Structure 1
Amino acid sequence: MSQPYVPPRTAPAKPSAFKDFFTGVGYLLRGIGWMARHPAQWLFGLIPALIVLVVYVTALVFLAFQIDDLAGWVTGFADDWSDAARTSARVVAGVAIYGAALFVAVLTFTAVTLLVGDPFYEAIAVRVEESEGGAPPDPGTPLMVQIWRAIKDTVLLGVIAVAFAVVFFLCGFLPVVGQTVVPVVAALVSGYFLAGELTSVALERRGILRAERFARLKADRPLVVGFGAATFVTFLIPLGAVLAMPGAVAGATLLARERLADGRQAEEVLVAPGDGASAWHGRAE
């Protein structure tokens, strides 16, 4: 007797990378929307960002006054070229140097601001989670351990940022590609690392440290890059890094809660504000 035909089982379709990218952009918009509904939290989150901004703007203004000398030093090989060729080389070098500096500044601004404003953004992340049904309990990590961990993460990110900045600086000399493709790639790369820094607040509260954090970011790369790239572009707008920083932290908290930490830990109890009762349980899949 012939067996009835059974169609082969197929795995459920996964969301496209394109769709995930724009879902990531949506998390930034959701974070900004959350801040718009909680203006007191927005003002609270501006304090550390403003402090760091003053330092960064001072450094970038100083660099702008020195850019001609730096461009001339970098293009010393062009001293014997014709005036037009030498000027063109130095203009490209100046743009590349300042662009690399902006890349490093935007990427490290988040890490330094999170380091300076850790108590501020920790409080904001908890309030965002409470508004969504419950926040993870405080892991009880000693303050000095938190500070040392944040310093190590900031230094590591700074080293990575400088390494990429050198690559992008050199690629900036490529005709056409250096002025079109390279800035886009720089935004995507920096966005990935920005997302790693911003989600650290919510993930470290769950005991998910740097190595595991980036493993989870890699698993949802299009989503993470979408969120981070949108944040990077927003930070390039004058005062955007300051005004959007609290919203970026809120959006990263939602991203971490809903996607990066979703059901991948052993049992985790989130405590609802006020009653100490179990409000949410994430179980291993």
Structure 2
Amino acid sequence: MIKDFAVGVGLLGHGLRIVTRDRSMLKRGAVPVLLASVILFGGLTLLATNLDALVAWATPFADDWATTWRRALRIAAGLVMAVAAIAVSLLVFSGLALAVGGPFYESIAEDVEDKVLGGVPNTERIGWGRAAWIGLRDTVLLILRALVWAIVLLALGFIPVLGQTVVPVLAIAIGAWLLAVELTAIPFVRRGHSLRERRATLRKSRAMTLGFAVPVYLVCLIPLAAVVVFPAAMAAGTLLAHRLLARP
């Protein structure tokens, strides 16, 4: 499991080397990210300024509690709510970037397959319209899943100790997993695989998938870092898809 996780991290490092050596890939992948980043950080700023009010609205039953217990509960709830909101925001961000930059990211996947993997037979071109539709459709489906998990994690966040330790880690893992499903969309679709098949394939190598996705998830939280890491993640997602689909 640890070895597979390390392999996933290594794939991201390989993707980063690919796009930094070929600056044209980096430039192509950065354009949609800049637009999506403005929307992402605008939403997170809005959340940060209204988080206290949201937490108070979600926990009215604690109004009559002792100050210490009320504060502890609302800090835990605020932490879980912030992590869940970040997870949903990153899915919106990646879905928007893929929808706007479909042709750019398809060209990155195609270059990786041709120049690094030596060509992949029986792949198909997606085109901007289809790429945009697939990106928006998958994003909506994954956001619905993220919201379900957000409700579960919010409930678990009320549990002392567990809510402040295990739940945030679990939230990051779930958010990274859903992000990986989005980031591998283009290479899977180019090979004719559906969203269900993509999820099933990634699930068989969960540790490797998380090794690839968790660093992407965390780095994307740094302002403007996504401009570099997102094109690298697309290249790495192509490498991951090729590796998993080549398995018997």
TM over 0.5: yes
Offset of 1:239 from its aligned partner?
2.7
Amino acid corresponding to residue 150 of structure 2 in structure 1? A
Residue 98 of structure 1 corresponds to which residue in structure 2?
Answer: 82
Higher relative contact order (CA 8 A, sep 6+): 2
| 1:30 positional shift | 0.7
TM-superposition CA deviations, 1:155-198 (whole Å, max 9, x none): 10110111111212222222222222122222222222222211
SS of the residue aligned with 1:236?
coil
Quote how far apart the aligned CAs of 1:140 are: 5.0
Partner of 1:118: 102
What is aligned with 2:61?
A: 77
After TM superposition, the structure 1 stretch with the greater mean CA deviation from structure 2, 166-175 or 55-64, is 166-175
Contact 2:55 2:77 in 1 (8 A): yes
Instruction: In structure 1, give the amino acid aligned to 2:88.
Output: V
Kept in 1, the 8 Å contact 2:76–2:164? The answer is no
> Aligned runs of 1:194-233 on 2, under 5 Å?
194-233=179-218
Gapped regions of structure 1 (runs ≥ 5): 1-16, 264-284
CA distance in 1 between counterparts of 2:40 and 2:246 reads 36
Structure 1 residue 199: Cα displacement: 1.3
Alignment counterpart, residue 157 of structure 1, candidates 142, 163, 173? 142
Instruction: Tell which structure's C-alpha radius of gyration is larger.
Output: 1
The change in CA–CA distance for 1:90 and 1:192 in structure 2 (over 3 A counts) is: closer
Distance 2:139 2:74 in 1: 32
Give distance in 1, aligned partners of 2:184 and 2:62: 45
Q: Does 1:127 align with 2:111?
A: yes
Determine if contact 1:168/1:182 at 8 Å carries over to the other structure.
yes
| 3-state SS of 2:78 partner | helix
- Aligned amino acid, residue 137 of structure 2: K
Give 2:12's aligned residue.
28
Structure 2's unaligned 5+ residue stretches are: none
Whichever structure has more helix as a proportion of its residues is 2
- The alignment partner of 2:79 has SS state of helix
- Give matches, 1:163-202, under 5 Å: 163-202=148-187
Task: Report the equivalent of 2:233.
Answer: 248
Would you say how many aligned residue pairs link Structure 1 and Structure 2?
A: 247
**1:86 and 2:73 equivalent?**
no
Residues 131/113 of structure 1: CA separation in 2 closer, same or farther (3 Å cut): same
Distance between the aligned counterparts of 2:73 and 2:204, measured in 1? 41
Letter in 1 for 2:104: F
TM-score norm. by structure 1 comes to: 0.80
Kept in 2: contact 1:49–1:113 (CA 8 A) = yes
Distance 1:64 1:140 in 2: 41
Distance in 2 of aligned mates of 1:21 and 1:31: 16
In the alignment, the residues of structure 1 paired with residue 74 and residue 20 of structure 2 have an alpha-carbon distance, to the nearest angstrom, of 44
CA RMSD between the two structures: 2.0
Amino acid at match of 1:158: I
Contact conserved, 1:28 with 1:251, CA < 8 A, in 2? Answer: yes
- Sequence identity of aligned pairs in percent? 40
Look up the equivalent residue of 1:117 and give its one-letter code: G
CA separation of 1:90 and 1:189: change in aligned 2, threshold 3 A: closer
TM-score, length-scaled by structure 2: 0.91
User: Which amino acid letter does the alignment assign opposite residue 21 of structure 1?
Assistant: F
Larger deviation: 124-133 or 101-110?
A: 101-110
Answer whether contact 2:100 2:132 (CA < 8 A) is retained.
no
Runs of 4+ in structure 1 over 6 Å off: none
